[in-house]
């Protein structure tokens, strides 16, 4: 079966249906998955783990070393004779270009295959400027960053892009995004590949924020919810270790769930009472303006909170309660072990978090919250570029794609 990632970048993966020996190590690409944890191993250790013959292990290690994905990692202790060589994953073998496109910002970064950021650039750019201008800047800055990182475009394995709206992940096309005029149905993948002919994967920004946050800081969490509170509100859902996008890529769109206290508040989607219309940055700013304060956007709210303004602090805490109202239902439905609050409005200390915790722990079932942790994002504003990198890594280091790479090198 062709993966959505493969379709999005216009290529078929290598045949994944070939007969494999017990244990699933029929190809070098499968063997490579054992080495992705970075732990050095000898040929003998790999043979013992996989049940493959030493000669088979040797030929596959040779192929992986030729590709650069695996490199020497010293020698093991010897029980007599020459010490056996160890091998490990080489994350510097290729580079990834990651882009976080927000409502009013763009962050472009170059990472290695382990997600380490090698170079980064931040731009003040409105997504409403349109896809050609914004993506053109992403490509332009990306090329400069690759050169700055000393790797160049020939070293590029793929490109990951996060967008602030619904995305059909199989094609990478935005679908009726409310704050992205001119983007609906735009072929992001094809446009970027005109300049950089590598796999291009596109997803909603909160999905990749969930990937980035979890991979960097919470890898042991199998049932994980990342909630972004900013100009919009959404959630990235990881269940049993897998990102859940839903049938059409809209899973986690919490911003348009109805909150009871907002019955008279009109949302930009046309409905009344949406969470986003009450608890997003612009919504909280609007409430403070109604109280006579100067606040046009979320950053103004944060400025007032940092100054200790009691009205702003109370408004932010109420926004947390509203978010908690929706999350209480999500906790009962999905039973996550960890909820991480991120986005620009989530980086405000304990005020928003206090409101979220207050309602979630009161309204959710005791069993669902008995081991639930609610925490602030540790990745901060790098969550999306880390996730965009991780999204590409999962694709380009998958068994089928690694196998295709080795065949091309051979």
- Global model pTM greater than 0.85: yes
What pLDDT sits at residue 250?
84
| Nearest residue to 405 (alpha-carbon basis) of 96, 98, 68, 41 | 68
Q: Which CATH superfamily is domain 93-207+384-396 in?
A: ATPase, nucleotide binding domain (3.30.420.40)
- 179: tokens are 């704050």
∠ CA 67-193-16, nearest 5°, is 50
Structure tokens of 104? 């009013």
Phi and psi, residue 238, nearest 5°: -115, 115
Confirm whether 4-90 and 93-207+384-396 share one CATH topology. Answer: no
pLDDT value, residue 202 = 97
Taken in order 106, 107, 109, 114, the sign of the CA dihedral is: negative
CATH number of 4-90: 1.10.3720.10, 1.10.10.10, 3.90.1150.10, 3.30.365.10?
1.10.10.10
At CB < 8 A and 24+ separation, what contacts does 33-36 make? Answer: 33/399, 35/64, 35/70, 35/87, 35/88, 35/89, 36/89, 36/397
User: What are the per-10-residue average pLDDT scores of the chain (410 residues)?
Assistant: 42 37 69 92 92 92 94 76 85 97 94 96 95 97 96 95 91 90 96 97 96 96 96 94 89 92 90 94 94 92 93 96 96 96 84 95 92 95 96 95 85
Instruction: Extract the tokens encoding 329.
Output: 């239902």
Instruction: Give the fold, CATH level 3, of 211-378.
Output: Nucleotidyltransferase; domain 5 (3.30.420)
pLDDT score at 349 = 66
pLDDT at 80: 60
Residues 6+ apart with CB under 8 A from 57: 31, 43, 46, 47, 50
CA terminus-to-terminus distance, the chain: 25
- The domain segmentation of the chain, as residue ranges, is 4-90, 93-207+384-396, 211-378
The per-residue pLDDT for 78 is: 62
Q: Contact, 235 vs 377, CB < 8 A?
A: no
Residue of 397, 326, 396, 392 whose CA lies nearest to 355: 326
Secondary structure of 163-198 as H, E, C letters: ECCCEECCCCEECCCCCCCCCCCCCHHHHHHCCCCC
């Amino acid at each position: 079966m062709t993966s959505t990632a493969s379709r999005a970048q216009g290529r078929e993966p290598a045949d994944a249906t070939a007969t494999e020996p017990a244990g699933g190590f029929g190809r070098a690409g499968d063997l490579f998955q054992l080495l992705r944890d970075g732990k050095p191993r000898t040929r003998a250790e790999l043979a013992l783990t996989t049940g493959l013959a030493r000669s088979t292990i040797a030929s596959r290690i040779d192929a992986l070393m030729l590709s650069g994905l695996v490199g020497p990692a010293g020698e093991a202790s010897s029980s007599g004779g020459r010490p056996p060589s160890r091998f490990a994953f080489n994350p510097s073998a290729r580079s990834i270009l990651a882009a976080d496109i927000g409502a009013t910002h763009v962050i472009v970064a170059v990472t290695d295959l382990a997600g380490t950021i090698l170079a980064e650039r931040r731009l003040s750019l409105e997504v409403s400027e349109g896809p050609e201008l914004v993506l053109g800047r992403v490509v332009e800055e990306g090329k400069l960053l690759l050169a700055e990182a000393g790797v160049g475009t020939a070293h590029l394995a793929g490109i990951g892009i996060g967008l602030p709206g619904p995305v059909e992940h199989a094609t990478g096309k935005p679908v009726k995004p409310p704050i992205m005029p001119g983007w609906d149905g735009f072929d992001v993948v094809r446009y970027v590949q005109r300049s950089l002919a590598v796999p291009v994967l596109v997803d909603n920004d909160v999905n990749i924020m969930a990937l980035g946050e979890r991979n960097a800081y919470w890898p042991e969490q199998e049932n994980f919810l990342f909630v972004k509170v900013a100009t919009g509100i959404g959630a990235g859902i990881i269940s049993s270790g897998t990102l859940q996008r839903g049938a059409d890529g809209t899973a986690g769109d919490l911003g348009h769930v109805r909150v009871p206290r907002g019955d008279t508040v009109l949302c930009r989607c046309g409905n009344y009472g949406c969470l986003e219309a009450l608890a997003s940055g612009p919504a909280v700013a609007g409430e403070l303006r109604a109280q006579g304060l100067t606040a046009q956007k979320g950053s103004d709210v944060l400025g007032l909170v940092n100054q200790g303004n009691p009205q702003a602090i109370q408004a932010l805490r109420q926004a947390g309660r509203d978010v908690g109202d929706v999350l209480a239902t999500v906790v009962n439905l999905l039973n996550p072990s960890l909820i991480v609050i991120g986005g620009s409005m989530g980086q405000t200390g304990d005020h928003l978090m206090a409101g979220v915790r207050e309602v979630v722990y009161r309204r959710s079932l005791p069993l669902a919250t008995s081991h639930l942790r609610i925490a602030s994002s540790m990745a901060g504003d790098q969550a999306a570029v880390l996730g965009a990198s991780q999204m590409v890594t999962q694709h380009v280091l998958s068994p089928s794609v690694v196998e295709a790479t080795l065949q091309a090198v051979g």
